[in-house]
Amino acid sequence: MSKPSFSKSVDEIITISRSYINTRIELWKLTLLEKASLAGSFFISSIILVLIGAFCLLFISLAFAFWYGQRTGDTAVGFLILTGFYLLLGIIFVLGRKKMVIGPIIRSMSEILYKEDENEEEEEED
């Protein structure tokens, strides 16, 4: 039984190390792709939901203004009521945007970006 030479062992270690490094790089690329895909789909679905909600709100608002106009005979007052409502809604939104918008978005994005990392850490601890 012959002993492997020292240079052969070093060459094997270098080959295995390169393979490991390349595998880790590929894993990072795939992880980045997955997280970017999840974040992108989150933003696209959020934009679609906001647009659908905006159109629904627009048509409900128009329907209210015209309904109010038919009931009272003055459509302009219906639109003024809506303007006041949206002004009040805008002020509430500006004052509470950190709790209503920024916080949930940050939480959702951090769940997307760090969820798998926590799972990997738990598996490594076991």
Is residue 1's pLDDT more than 60?
Answer: no
The amino acid at 11: D
DSSP letter, residue 102: I
Tokens of 90: 């805008």
Tens of pLDDT, residues 53-73: 999 999 999 999 999 999 998
What is the band of 80 on the pLDDT scale with cuts at 50, 70, 90?
A: very high
User: Which residues are CB-contacts of 82 (< 8 A; sequence separation ≥ 6)?
Assistant: 61, 64, 65
State the pLDDT at residue 118. 56
DSSP letter, residue 4: P
Q: Where are the domains of the chain?
A: 6-125
pTM above 0.85, yes or no: no
